[in-house]
Amino acid sequence: MDILELLGSGFAWTADRIRVVRPDDMAVPTPCTRWDLRQLLNHTVGAIDVVASALAGNHVLTEAGAHELAHQERIGDDPAAAYAEMTRWALKIWHEPGALDRDCPTERGPIQARDATAVTLMEAVVHGWDIAQSTGEDEPIPPYLAEPILGFARRWPHVDGQRGAMYDPAIPGGTTASGRLLGFLGRRPRAASR
């Protein structure tokens, strides 16, 4: 699968996790301990928006802008609809001719669009798993997503460079692709995910 097919599949997998969310779930804790489920959902939609916008040339990621994503209200009363609308728009940006050949401006300088795509895939899918954990859904990340995301995460210098801030220290993650990815990113999967 190429990176755009993976992105579409990852967005769809997370959409299935978001469809399970009920209105009374919004205040439940998440594996992202700083955020409740509403904040995590807003961040997930916001992270897709900010990278797609930067790729489109609409705005540059800044430290303040990235930080504010978790605090902006984006999902309203229907997180599934907000997520679906955002991912449809973002996929249009990524499928524009030459989009993967662009640079994507970030707070640390430009990165290649392919790397920005992989970061977005990682964010969407891993936060999809976080959302599933918050709603009580014990859904491992499928191998067709977990394996390429883990390969990227191991090569992406910002993961190890931001341990303790954005990423927890790596922990043993089990024998499945999902468990290895989650462990590498410092998440503690349930026994069934290992």
Model pLDDT for residues 69-88, shown as the tens digit of each residue: 656 899 999 999 999 999 99
Which residues touch 192 (CB under 8 Å, ≥6 apart)? 138, 140
Confidence band, pLDDT 50/70/90 cuts, at residue 194 = very low
Strands (E), the chain: 103-104, 111-112
Confidence band, pLDDT 50/70/90 cuts, at residue 192 = very low
Chain CA centroid to CA 157, Å: 17
- pLDDT, residue 64, reads 56
- pLDDT, residue 101, reads 94
What is the tens place of the pLDDT at every residue in 32-54?
888 999 999 999 999 999 889 88
Residues of the chain with pLDDT > 90, as a percent, come to 64
Q: Where do the domains of the chain lie?
A: 3-140
Strands (E), 8-75: none
Top-tier CATH class for 3-140: mainly alpha
Enter the pTM of the model: 0.91
HSE, CB side, 13 Å, CA atoms: give it for residue 39.
Answer: 14
pLDDT above 50: residue 193: no
Strands (E), 10-106: 103-104
Which letter does DSSP use for residue 24 in this model? G
What is the tens place of the pLDDT at every residue in 113-144?
999 999 999 999 999 999 999 999 989 999 99
- pLDDT, residue 113, reads 93
Q: How far apart are CA 143 and CA 60, in angstroms?
A: 33
Q: How far apart are CA 18 and CA 41, in angstroms?
A: 8
Confidence band, pLDDT 50/70/90 cuts, at residue 60 = low
Rg of the Cα atoms in the chain:
16
**Residues 118, 3 contacting (CB under 8 angstroms):** yes
